[in-house]
Structure 1
């Protein structure tokens, strides 16, 4: 099976400080993959490099068979990647509905595209807050809005950087339930998060990063059965 996203031998950094050393990553259509590791190990830099938000020094990024490294971010998004960034980054002075429609598109003519009614069915809280501005929402509602905004671009791949960071346990459950539904519907997902237990339930494959390099890869059963790896690289 050809990969939906393929990252090979990726090198990148900031100024003279190299962060990524030969990073690799693969996601097939409909697959949920995690990128795990302690803070400062290169996870967000990998995402930013994929999304054209940070220059790639070396290596290749393919999406649906097209090379996309160093394309501008809007071109990467047009290829079919939706990003839910760390910190949410919603538009604070736009209403919930305006946030959702601001970047809405269906360039690849999905059989069942994401629309406002579908987003409100996935996250009923957003429908209740439809007229509220972004800065009037709770952190959990902002994260739901960020996910909804990414889905409204009708991506083939959804990337979430720190999916549930700083959220209450109840809101986390809502986010995990929504991601599980997306996965059942065939959405490919790449997720970064520190909550390992729900990731072991959700994901097909896990990639652990240490100092900008892949140090472990495998399925949920293998990672669940390897507490030494969890402790060594995740502090679990």
Structure 2
């Protein structure tokens, strides 16, 4: 059974339908991407998966449970963590306080992520462990947002535009981190626009166009058809 299985997902804002029968599958240990231009339904999909938006149709199964319509807190406790667009760190909590406040072992990991392990992954956070969230650079906030998700020891980690607006060197550090997590077996769903990097990182890809999945395939197939990039991604 897949870790995440989405079938026939539909969603609406009022009378405006934004998702039309979306299917998505993420297997344990995979890195999967959700691609598409702005306004094509990626954010709405993530809201439905994480419990911030109730689907109007279809089913969402996660970790063996039908979580369709569950609230965000209940889904999170089952082992889903999101690194949200915009980072959303708390301005009045220090780096260490962020990590300690969210620490859990929701996947039952035998070697769980904790504060020290996150500091080893991101030494810059150790150096700024007493700094408040609003005293960090954008790149440091992104590292903290990833670390905050990791200390919950999620079954599935979702990253929503994790490299958006970052300086090139910081962006490379985030890609390095994701490669490390993949090698460690962390299951990840990524929304990002850097297709060349995602091809090297991910196993499977889904492209959305106006709330529908218009293409799914592996990295070799996506790399072989750059017409898809131009047609659906504007690359």
TM over 0.5: yes
| CA–CA separation in structure 2 for the residues paired with 1:115 and 1:78 | 17
**Offset of residue 61 of structure 1:** 0.4
| Structure 2, gaps ≥5 residues long | none
| CA–CA separation in structure 2 for the residues paired with 1:156 and 1:190 | 11
- TM-score normalised to the size of structure 1? 0.98
| CA–CA separation in structure 2 for the residues paired with 1:95 and 1:22 | 42
In the TM superposition, 1:59-70 aligns within 5 A as 59-70=58-69
| Structure 1, gaps ≥5 residues long | none
1:175 is matched with 174
| CA–CA separation in structure 1 for the residues paired with 2:68 and 2:172 | 34
**Offset of residue 107 of structure 1:** 3.5
| CA–CA separation in structure 1 for the residues paired with 2:18 and 2:107 | 34
Q: Does 1:35 align with 2:34?
A: yes
Question: Is the contact between residue 107 and residue 155 of structure 2 (CA under 8 Å) also seen in structure 1?
Answer: no
Give the SS at the match of 2:221.
helix
Provide, for residues 80-112 of structure 1, a one-character-per-residue CA deviation record: whole Å limited to 9, x for no partner.
Answer: 111001111111110001111122111442110
- TM-score normalised to the size of structure 2? 0.98
| CA–CA separation in structure 2 for the residues paired with 1:222 and 1:109 | 35
2:24 is matched with 25
| CA–CA separation in structure 1 for the residues paired with 2:75 and 2:169 | 33
2:142 is matched with 143
In the TM superposition, 1:35-54 aligns within 5 A as 35-54=34-53
| CA–CA separation in structure 1 for the residues paired with 2:115 and 2:70 | 29
| CA–CA separation in structure 1 for the residues paired with 2:106 and 2:7 | 27
List structure 1 segments (4+ residues) > 6 angstroms apart after TM superposition: none
| CA–CA separation in structure 1 for the residues paired with 2:211 and 2:230 | 18
Q: 1:215 to 1:116 in 2, by over 3 A?
A: same
